[in-house]
Amino acid sequence: MTHATVLAEAGQPAGFDWPFFWHYLFSPSGVFLDGLWRTVYISVIAQLLGVLLGFAVALAQRSRFAPLRWGGRTYVWLIRGTPLLVQLVLVYNGLAAAGVYRFADLQVGGLVFLGVVQAAILTLAVNEAAYMAEIFRAALDAIDPGQAEAAQALGMTPAMTMRVVLLPQAIRIIVPPLGNEFNLMMKSTSLLSVIGLQEMFLTAQSINSATFKTFEIFLVVACYYLALTTVWSFVQRFIERRLADPGQVIAAPSLRERFAGGGPGRSTTGREDSPLVGKEAH
Amino acid sequence: MEPITSPADASAVMSARGVVKRFGAVRVLNGVSMDVRAREVVVVVGPSGSGKTTFLRCLNHLERIDEGEILVHGRPVGHRPRPTGSEPPVEERPKVVAHRRRNIGFVFQRFNLFPHLTALDNVAVAPTKVLGTPKAQAREQAQDLLARVGLGHKASSRPSALSGGQQQRVAIARALAMKPELMLFDEPTSALDPEMVGEVIAVMKELVDDGMTMIVVTHEMGFARSAADRLVMFDQGAVLEEGPPERLMTDPAHERTWAFLRRINEGG
């Protein structure tokens, strides 16, 4: 008996099981879709909370009260200085083991809010807030100090200056790194498998232990993460266009231009006539 | 302890006494005193680094003073009132400072228009948010003010679509929207291309004709000669001399004033 036949008789797949792959890619099981759904809503809620908390931390860092500034900096130092994986285990398993706090399932109306989901969203949001705080800080620092001075000179209070003048300008700067953060957030949810949260990754693991189709099932998982981040990148680009200064907007290139590489400014015809080309060359 | 200088004049629109401002170890203002009466137009000149811009910024508390007293309409802008005038200034709460700045207009060298708002909204935003003027009314006033500075047709333009001179005129309209009783101009034409200086100066002259009280830091001696009631020469963080523009330009008491004015006349 050859080695290959032994494997075949033991029920091991020889090579890549394409039918299995296509099946899970295009008609995933209900369990898998539940996992996918958890990945999506946990990412969205944790990111939203992370943005709000991050803004609060950034404000604390800019406060005129020293203890608040110190608190904000300590927060960022602690959270950014430790791995998310460690934070997750500490919050969910650690606190319970120490008898400090156990995340229990909550029932709101007809919905059950699992304890592990609460712990996951809380930890992801707290973790995200540290990074968002730095993004807010950088964006607010990037705005010309003359903007805040002009607002103050018009009699605006610091809160009004932030709301009316600084924040609308900061948001435009924040969207690209925020998009990055949300992309990372969706992928970070795979870490939730270690605290036993049935998101997409853990669901795939249980499918794997039942079928041993490791390569196929995790390739399906990779495709779904890629699909999520791809959809998000389109949403992000849409938001960026909406926020752009209408005076400086560049028209969205058409699909044909994207693939053919043509379009305004890059056209190969009429190069001599374009006054821009000569300037760019220098 | 006796105050070194006479107390600030509460009847003047703006009254400064013994103002000292330090940046670290450097004394940028070295005991400046000045009074400005209602409807008076004062032009402040002086070499770069003489403290004239810092002084102007102190007047609406964009800079904190270290010693002395500044009263606008008889009240300090950014400090608690002090009974004897000699104790160190105590900072007011930001909300109070904001409230007291309402009737002081400030025009910046670099315009500082809000780039995310149209010209109209740049002018309408402060009355709406700060004074609580109904939006429709604030926009109507803003449209009138833009027309007054010759930019009625640019109401829906963003600052990025306006020339420097147009931006500065919008900035003046924005300051006027708060109905200030005192206008401060910090080198309003020095960031402009030469051909745009005239349109901004013209708007400022109209304000003078309307009886606005103004303190203008500028090197535009033409404006000083034709519009100013008083010319103040700053040097090394203090007032070197002051008087009617014609006298300072033709017969200054100090050699440094004469040398400085001759230098900027050659440049301009």
Is the separation of the CB atoms in A62 and A141 below 8 Å?
Answer: no
Average pLDDT, chain A: 86
Instruction: Tell me, yes or no, if the pTM score tops 0.95.
Output: no
Q: CA-CA distances (angstroms) from residue B181 to A264, B38, B56, B117? A: 51, 8, 15, 26
Q: Within a 10 A sphere around the Cβ of A282, how many other Cβ atoms?
A: 4
How does pLDDT run across A130-187, given as a tens digit for each residue? 999 999 999 999 999 999 999 999 999 999 999 999 999 999 999 999 999 999 999 9
Residue of B nearest to A172 (CA): B116
**Tens-digit pLDDT profile for residues A44-81:** 999 999 999 999 999 999 999 999 999 999 999 999 99
CB A128 within 8 A of CB A46: yes
Q: What is the pLDDT of residue B264?
A: 85
Separation in Å, CA A243 to CA A52, A79, A175, B114, B119: 19, 30, 9, 15, 18
Q: Provide, rounded to the nearest whole percent, the portion of chain B with pLDDT above 90.
A: 85
Whole-angstrom distance, CA of residue B204 vs CA of residue A172: 35
Interface test with B, best of A143, A154, A162, A245 (most B CBs within 10 A): A154
Q: In this model, does residue B3 exceed pLDDT 70?
A: no
pLDDT tens per residue, range B119-157 = 999 999 999 999 999 999 999 999 999 999 999 999 999
- Of the candidates B74, B43, B79, which has an alpha carbon nearest to the alpha carbon of residue B61? B79
Q: Within a 10 A sphere around the Cβ of B92, how many other Cβ atoms? A: 18
Q: Name the closest residue on chain B to residue A171, using Cα atoms.
A: B116
CB contact under 8 A, A245 and B116: yes
Angle of CA points B147, B219, B144, to nearest 5°:
10
**Residue B62 to residue A152, Cβ atoms within 8 A:** yes
Percent of chain A with pLDDT over 70: 82
Residue A278: the pLDDT is: 37
| Contact of B100 with B148, CB cutoff 8 Å | no
Please choose, from the candidates A170, A102, A100, the residue with its C-alpha nearest in 3D space to the C-alpha of residue A133.
A170
Interface predicted TM-score (ipTM) of this complex, two decimals? 0.92
Contact B112 A144 (CB under 8 A): yes
Ranking A146-160, B213-227, B254-268 by mean pLDDT, the lowest is B254-268
**Stretch B164-185: mean pLDDT, rounded?**
97
pLDDT digits (tens, 9 = 90+) for A189-220: 999 999 999 999 999 999 999 999 999 999 99
Cβ-in-10-Å burial (0-12, 13-18, 19+) of A206 comes to: middle
DSSP A189-240: GGGGGGGT--SHHHHHHHHHHHH--HHHHHHHHHHHHHHHHHHHHHHHHHHH
The string of DSSP codes covering A118-140 is: HHHHHHHHHHHHHHHHHHHHHHH
pLDDT at A271 over 80: no
The shortest CB-CB distance from A164 to any of B115, B129, B160 is to B129
Specify the pLDDT at position B65.
93
Q: Give the HSE-up count for residue A89: Cα atoms under 13 Å, Cβ half-sphere.
A: 7
Q: Is the pLDDT of residue A1 over 50?
A: no
User: Which residues of chain B lie closer than 8 angstroms to A172, CB-CB?
Assistant: 116
Residues near B35 by Cβ (< 8 Å), separated by ≥ 6?
Answer: B9, B12, B14, B15, B16
Using CA coordinates, name the residue in chain B closest to A166: B114
Residue (of B208, B36, B37, B175) closest to B103 by Cα position: B175
Structure tokens at A34: 């539940």
Size of the A and B interface in Cβ pairs below 8 Å? 73
Q: Which residues of B touch A164 (CB under 8 A)?
A: 125, 129
SS (H, E, C) A3-59: HHHHHHHCCCCCCCCHHHHHHHHHCCCHHHHHHHHHHHHHHHHHHHHHHHHHHHHHH
pLDDT, tens digit (0-9, with 9 covering 90-100), for A115-125: 999 999 999 99
Q: Are A88 and A120 in contact (CB under 8 A)?
A: yes
* Closest C-alpha among A172, A236, A58, A133 to residue B114: A172
Cα–Cα distance, B58 to B32 (Å, whole number): 11
Among A5, A209, A197, which residue's Cα sits nearest to residue A115?
A197
Rounded distance between C-alpha atoms, residue A171 and residue A228, angstroms: 23
CA angle B91, B97, B102 (to 5 degrees): 160
pLDDT of residue A243: 85
**Run of H or E including A85:** helix A84-89
> Residue B85's pLDDT band (boundaries 50, 70, 90)?
low
Chain A residues within 8 A of B160 when measuring between CB atoms: 245, 247-248
pLDDT band at A267 (very low <50, low <70, confident <90, very high): very low
Q: In this predicted structure, what is the pLDDT of residue B107?
A: 98
**Token pair listed for B268:** 């301009």
